[in-house]
């Protein structure tokens, strides 16, 4: 069993589907203070910040820690979580018909090992249909999602090509994690 230091329902689902037992609880970390020159640097700094906050609160004596963060990038821009519907619309227009990279950094720390991984999945999207986009925006499902993107939802029908693991794009590189989780 491990401690998932994330409130993400998607990360919880990924662990459940992979058969990895976990307890979900975390302390917050403010990502808005991060200044980064590249998407990989940003996601690494965010994950380290979350890790430090959760390690201070929980340590690894009781349960191993699992901390992760995800960033979306397209056309050279870091696409953060949208703050409002207009922001979400602009973020999604940036991805429409373009290559979107979803980068996930995770830290798994048990008594015996500490693993830091940065994985990337690239999606080539066709142009988003305007009506579909507006319906998605009205649904509010984009809220709390890096890049307002849901490759398992709205964006799925627009995927032209994928390079990498879907789990990475969903926020947790399960294929990598499974190699290190202690049974």
Domains in the chain and their CATH numbers? 2-177 (3.90.950.10)
Angle between helices 130-139 and 85-95 (to 10 degrees): 140
* The model's pTM: 0.86
Percent of the chain with pLDDT over 70: 99
pLDDT class of 183 with cuts at 50, 70, 90: low
pLDDT confidence bin for 37, thresholds 50/70/90: confident
Residues in CB range of 140: below 8 A, 6 or more apart: none
Residue 69 is a catalytic residue:
yes
d(CA 155, CA 123): 10
The average pLDDT across 98-106 equals 96
The token pair at 35 is 């200044």
Query: Per-residue confidence at 68, pLDDT binned at 50, 70, 90?
Result: very high
- Which one of 30, 61, 69, 86 is the catalytic residue? 69
Report the mean per-residue pLDDT for the chain.
93
pLDDT classification of 144: cutoffs 50, 70, 90: confident
> What is residue 44's predicted lDDT score, i.e. its pLDDT?
95
Span 109-129, average pLDDT: 96
pLDDT greater than 90 at residue 150: no
**Pairing outcome for strands 99-109 and 2-4:** unpaired
Residue 42, pLDDT > 80, answer yes
CA distance 37 to 78: 10
Secondary structure of the chain: what % helix, strand, coil (to 5)?
Answer: 35, 25, 35
Q: What is the dihedral of CA 159, 161, 163, 167, to 10 degrees?
A: 20
């Amino acid at each position: 069993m491990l401690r998932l230091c994330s409130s993400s329902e998607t990360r919880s689902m990924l662990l459940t589907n992979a058969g990895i037992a976990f307890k979900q609880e975390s302390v917050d970390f403010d990502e808005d203070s991060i200044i980064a020159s590249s998407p990989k640097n940003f996601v690494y700094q965010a994950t380290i910040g979350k890790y430090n906050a959760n390690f201070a609160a929980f340590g690894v004596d009781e349960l191993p820690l699992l901390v992760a963060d995800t960033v979306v990038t397209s056309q050279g821009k870091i696409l953060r979580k949208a703050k409002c519907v207009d922001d979400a619309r602009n973020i999604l227009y940036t991805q429409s018909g373009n290559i979107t990279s979803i980068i996930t950094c995770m830290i798994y720390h048990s008594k015996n090992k500490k693993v830091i991984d940065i994985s990337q999945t690239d999606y080539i999207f066709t142009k988003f249909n305007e009506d579909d986009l507006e319906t998605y925006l009205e649904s509010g499902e984009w809220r709390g999602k890096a890049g307002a993107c849901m490759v398992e939802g709205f964006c799925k029908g627009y995927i032209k090509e994928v390079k990498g693991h879907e789990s990475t794009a969903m926020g947790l590189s399960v294929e990598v994690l499974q190699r290190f989780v202690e049974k």
